[in-house]
Amino acid sequence: MNSSEELFDEKQKRFLKRHWKMTIVFAAVFAIAVTTAVLVFLWFVEMAQTTALVPSTLGDFTVGYLITFILHVIFWELLFVGSWVLVIVVVTYIKWYNKLPQEERMKESKRGTREEGDAIGFLIGVFWLIIIWTSGRWDLAFNAWTLTDWVISWLTAVGWVFVVFGIPIAIYFVYWIMNEKKQEA
């Protein structure tokens, strides 16, 4: 007896066998894009240090330097990699998708509809950055931080997320339970 996961794997295998040429094209584009992205990243790391965008030693980094570095990396990766990869993938996918028979189009459009995200983790990160900014540690080098400072700042961020979002959710939950009891009576 097959489990649903085994059936899903079997469907994927059949789909890849039928469309092996497109699988190879997308795998090649992916490999070239990853290689290019790594080379652009290494280029930018070197350029960031030689142009003094960031300090050359990690102990002198601050949150401000880190955010600046990340934003610049994103910009250069989008410019040198994302621009051409996006065009190639979209054009290739549209041409391939338009050649699919109608019944396969329906199957393909239902594929991958599951959405996942880590909103809580993202919110904690945003609150952590706000806490670092307001506490004056934004431009404080990481080598001046203690482990206690770092842990307390993260726990404070977690606490603020629970306060800002947890209290309204708890109030709504109590309100919902009270209405359910009134409807039962």
pLDDT tens by residue, the chain, 185 residues: 455 566 567 777 777 777 777 878 888 898 999 999 999 999 998 898 889 898 878 788 899 999 999 999 999 999 999 999 999 989 988 888 888 777 766 665 555 544 556 788 899 999 999 999 999 999 998 888 887 888 899 999 999 998 998 889 889 888 888 888 788 77
Q: How is the chain split into domains, by residue range?
A: 1-115, 117-185
Q: Where does residue 88 rank: exposed (0-12), middle (13-18), buried (19+ CB within 10 A)?
A: middle
Find the Cα–Cα–Cα–Cα dihedral 17, 18, 22, 26, rounded to 10°: -40
- Residue 135 makes CB contacts below 8 A (sequence gap 6+) with 153
